């Protein structure tokens, strides 16, 4: 391995400051070299807080830095595609926060940009790298719980601040974009298939015009379904149930696994629903954001192919598009996967 891959961070967004950058800084494969904000003072403060060597008062200055190999893009959703493309055109690989775009059509522009520039662009879906989800996949493949036919998820938190980016519709706020997208990521991961059709119902905040509550059913065909609920004005909660013909797996801390701490998954292999017979597997401590950075670095260096190329992100957006259509049409909508 040559020198570490040098990263620049495009904005001082909260997810980057609290979770992603601290995780990246633990990596032996990358170094966070620079951070940018439209406010030079804010960029400088962030750089000092996180011990990042260089700060820039504009995104353009960061993209022009010849020392930077890759960009982490945690900008608002409506800015993801344009700035990721600008980074690729500047000769940088890109790891972009989820959801990748406001629509599948918009996300598909990244495929063309990758082909045109020769630079990789990946969606930051940290859960797919966490050992608990790799273990879940291993159990499913082993056949221990039988054929998996049903997945159920609930993901919620409370935030009714109209100035918070999660509650601003035009920039990509709302429950489905923010946390419901994970239900789609994980169900596609578990079933190893693309959804065929969806049906959904939503509750729209009358003032902020975002979906503050959405529930849906995702049909993967062959008797496989996801049922999910996501909300932005409910008590904080998350859980995933994966139910097979013989048994089930419960992942109680499905998204926000504590960085550097153990987590536990529960396996009811025989479907007895008897707590005395359930198996509780402790998954060793890890930081899914460090693992995400490591994998991105290997892909960007050409050491491993992208297991989840940008086409995967486009397909996730296609399912999100269909759910929003269904919430308005009140009927089943087809998913236009590529």
Point out the residues that are catalytic: 98
Measured CA angle at 216 (ends 213, 218), to 5 deg: 150
Omega before 99 cis (within 30°)?
yes
**Chain centroid to CA 92: how far?**
21
Short-list 152, 127, 149, 150, CA closest to 215: 152
Indicate the DSSP class of residue 4. Answer: P
Q: Return d(Cα 6, Cα 14) in angstroms, integer.
A: 21
Q: Return d(Cα 322, Cα 105) in angstroms, integer.
A: 12
Q: Return d(Cα 222, Cα 3) in angstroms, integer.
A: 48
User: First and final CA of the chain: distance in angstroms?
Assistant: 35
167 contacts 161 by C-beta, under 8 angstroms:
yes
The residue assigned the tokens 């932005």 is 232
Q: Return d(Cα 189, Cα 104) in angstroms, integer.
A: 19
Query: Beta-strand (E) ranges in 74-139?
Result: 93-97, 121-124
DSSP-based helix, strand, coil % in the chain, nearest 5: 40, 30, 30
């Amino acid at each position: 391995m040559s020198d570490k891959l040098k990263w620049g961070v495009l904005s001082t967004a909260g997810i980057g400051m609290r979770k992603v950058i601290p995780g990246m800084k633990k990596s032996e494969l990358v170094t966070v070299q620079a951070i940018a904000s439209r406010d030079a003072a804010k960029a400088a403060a962030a750089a000092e807080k996180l011990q990042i060597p260089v700060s820039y008062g504009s995104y353009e200055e960061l993209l022009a830095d010849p020392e930077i190999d890759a960009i982490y893009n945690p900008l608002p959703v409506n800015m993801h595609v344009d700035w990721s493309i600008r980074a690729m055109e500047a000769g940088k690989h890109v790891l972009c926060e989820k959801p990748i775009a406001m629509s599948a059509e918009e996300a598909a522009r990244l495929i063309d940009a990758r082909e045109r520039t020769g630079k990789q662009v990946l969606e930051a879906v940290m859960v797919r790298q966490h050992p608990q989800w790799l273990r879940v996949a291993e159990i499913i493949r082993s056949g221990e719980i039988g054929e998996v036919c049903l997945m159920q998820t609930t993901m919620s938190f409370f935030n009714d601040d109209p100035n918070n980016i999660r509650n601003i519709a035009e920039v990509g706020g709302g429950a489905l974009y923010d946390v419901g997208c994970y239900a789609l990521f994980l169900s596609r991961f578990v079933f190893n298939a693309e959804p065929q059709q969806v049906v959904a119902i939503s509750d729209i905040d009358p003032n902020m015009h975002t979906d503050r509550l959405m529930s849906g059913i995702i049909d993967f065909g062959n008797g496989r379904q996801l049922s999910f609920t996501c909300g932005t004005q409910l008590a904080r909660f998350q859980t995933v149930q994966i139910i097979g013909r013989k048994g089930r797996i419960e992942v109680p801390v499905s998204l926000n696994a504590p960085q550097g701490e153990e987590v536990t998954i529960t396996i009811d292999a025989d479907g007895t629903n008897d707590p005395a017979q359930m198996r509780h597997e402790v998954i060793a401590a890890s930081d899914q954001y460090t693992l995400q950075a490591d994998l991105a670095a290997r892909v960007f260096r050409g050491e491993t192919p992208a297991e989840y190329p940008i086409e995967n992100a486009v397909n996730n957006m296609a399912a999100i598009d269909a759910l929003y259509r269904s919430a308005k049409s009140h009927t089943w909508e087809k998913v236009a996967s590529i």
